[in-house]
Amino acid sequence: MIVLALLLAQVAAGPAPVAQGERIFAQSCSVGYCHGVAGSAGRGPRLRGRTFTKDYLTTVIHDGIPSSAMPAWKDRLKDDDIRAVVAYIVSLATATDPAPPANPMPPGVGPASQPVFSGPPQAARGRALFSDPARENCAVCHAVAGRGMAVGPDLTAVFEPLRRIHSAASHHVLTASLQTGEHFPALLVSQTDHEVRLYDLTSTPPVLRTFARSQVTSLAQNSAWRHDDVIRNYSAAELEDIAAYLLWAATGP
């Protein structure tokens, strides 16, 4: 009777931790250039079919991994949610089948919920180019109309989108210098008396790195970084299409 009562109480309390963790993982972890769908390999490492201790996962998710792309979630997820994500990742240890190709997000959440694009043909072409997975696309650094990663500034908040494509973010870019002697172009995410979070622009997509404040010796304006180097894989005609999409996104249908 006691066991039955505990089971009933667990059911009444809400979704099972693994199911809850799967939902949170799909929404927060399996996005952009992070972990792949259902724990498959993405830009982040594969979690599916691997064994981790609960203590290790809890620490990594809660505090992040310094000097890496793994952020701390302690200020973004509740403790119950972190425990649920840990339970879900632990459940993936016995998975031997490939990760499902479909996005497991529930209806109304994530990419599946995006409406069909109804803009003009040129803007439609630009929208496809903006997040084209076959190249180093704009969406790995910029978010527009719910698509992409908000690493760099909003490209729709300007009157001349084509000019902005060429000059975007250059006045935001810094040179980060570390105690180790490393220097790299960066975008500042946040800084406190104890911690500095930066996007490292050395690679594409940029890598989110977290440092102890004492590790960063200076953050200086970087006048050498050029956005043109990032968009070299787009032709002039393609950039015109992307500009049309940005203008459409900025002004509305």
Choose among 151, 166, 137, 164: nearest CA to 200: 151
Q: Which residues contact 99 (CB under 8 A, 6 or more apart)?
A: 36, 37, 38, 39, 40, 48
HEC per residue, the chain: CHHHHHHHHHHHCCCCHHHHHHHHHHHHHCCCCCCCHHHCCCCCCCCCCCCCCHHHHHHHHHHCCCCCCCCCCCCCCCHHHHHHHHHHHHHHHHCCCCCCCCCCCCCCCCHHHCCCCCCCHHHHHHHHHHCCCCCCCHHHCCEECCEECCCCCCCCCCCCHHHHHHHCCCCCCEEEEECCCCEEEEEEEEECCCEEEEEECCCCCCEEEEEEHHHEEEEEECCCCCHHHCCCCCCHHHHHHHHHHHHHHHHCC
Over residues 135-193, the pLDDT tens digits come to 667 877 887 876 777 777 777 765 566 666 665 556 678 999 999 898 989 888 888 99
Average pLDDT over residues 119-141: 82
Over residues 221-248, the pLDDT tens digits come to 888 887 777 777 888 899 889 888 888 8
Confidence of residue 216 (pLDDT cuts 50, 70, 90): very high
Pairing of strands 183-191, 195-200: antiparallel
Tokens of 210: 């977290």
Over residues 41-100, the pLDDT tens digits come to 776 778 888 899 999 999 999 988 776 667 788 877 889 999 999 999 999 988 876 655
Over residues 24-47, the pLDDT tens digits come to 888 778 765 578 788 887 767 788
Res. 1: pLDDT tops 60: no
Res. 219: pLDDT tops 90: yes
Predicted confidence at residue 158, as pLDDT, reads 58
Predicted confidence at residue 133, as pLDDT, reads 67
Average pLDDT over residues 202-211: 74
Spell out the domains of the chain, with CATH numbers in brackets. Answer: 14-94 (1.10.760.10), 114-168+228-251 (1.10.760.10), 174-225 (2.30.30)
Angle at 48 between CA 50 and CA 21, to 5 degrees: 110
Predicted confidence at residue 84, as pLDDT, reads 93
Whether 138 contacts 148, CB under 8 Å: yes
Confidence of residue 102 (pLDDT cuts 50, 70, 90): very low
Res. 105: pLDDT tops 60: no
Of 185 and 11, the one with more pLDDT: 185
Choose among 121, 135, 143, 157: nearest CA to 235: 135
Predicted confidence at residue 76, as pLDDT, reads 77
Of 52 and 205, the one with more pLDDT: 52
Predicted confidence at residue 112, as pLDDT, reads 41
What number of other Cβ atoms are within 10 A of residue 136's Cβ? 15
Place of tokens 């909003």: 154
Radius of gyration, alpha carbons of the chain = 21
Place of tokens 């250059």: 170
Choose among 32, 10, 23, 4: nearest CA to 150: 32
Predicted confidence at residue 94, as pLDDT, reads 87
Confidence of residue 201 (pLDDT cuts 50, 70, 90): confident
Distance (Å, whole) CA 190 – CA 196 = 6
Q: φ, ψ for residue 212 (rounded to 5)?
A: -65, 145
